[in-house]
Amino acid sequence: MENTFTENEIQQLREYHSPFLTDSSKLMIKRIFDLTAAIFSLLLICSWLFPLVAIAIKVTSKGPVFFKQLRHGKDNVPFYCYKFRTMIPNKEADTLQAIKNDQRITKVGRILRRSSIDELPQIINVLKGEMSIVGPRPHAVLMNEVFSKEINNFMFRHAVKPGITGLAQSKGFRGETKDFYDLHSRYKLDMFYVKNWCLYFDSQIILRTMYTLWFKNDKAY
């Protein structure tokens, strides 16, 4: 699989997607929003929460505090996505998704995954410009190689930066991708976002994600 779009694919994207993809003013507004949200989160939440989570992880299981995984970013360019480690170190972390009652997940990890606190280190990715607060969720590079064989133009969802949360997640699609319906439903929502994103849409997705975390969290494991 190519790591970046070909010239033909870039042309297809320009013809198929909304002008938001190339509108420099809208892209700048989104970047300012991302930076503002990330900085406030670091100062108000992460400054005290990160040390507590780090201690809990180190005290209860062997291994590093953080887990990094190579994932596809904007234009299919790979980057290292950061998370709090929620599993015991294992060789299948990049190829086997977590399932319900997965024995690899630690006790602290279950709490972190259910609350999505494990995703907070991705604020670092946002500050680095590799991710956005809202966008299609990034998958591991090896998993994308599988998914792209199932759905044509699957990698077009990377026409925008990946997000800490996305439209699919705000609709309850979280955790394990169980079957083709699950995969295709996420893909359709991601592509709808790519074609229609704007700051107002992002704010609605954030609010909807918060609601889902509190009241529809059964798929988080």
> How much is the mean pLDDT over the chain?
89
Does 23 reside within a domain? no
pLDDT at 1 over 50: no
Does 11 reside within a domain? no
- For the segment 38-65, the average pLDDT, to the nearest whole number, is 96
Does 58 reside within a domain? yes
Q: Tokens 């602290």 belong to which residue?
A: 108
Model pLDDT, residue 81: 98
Model pLDDT, residue 93: 84
For residue 202, what are the contacts with CB-CB under 8 A and spacing of at least 6? 30, 33, 133, 134
pLDDT per residue over 66-80, tens digit each? Answer: 999 999 999 899 999
Model pLDDT, residue 164: 97
Does 44 reside within a domain? no
Number of folded domains that form the chain: 1
Model pLDDT, residue 118: 96
Does 105 reside within a domain? yes
- For the segment 167-184, the average pLDDT, to the nearest whole number, is 89
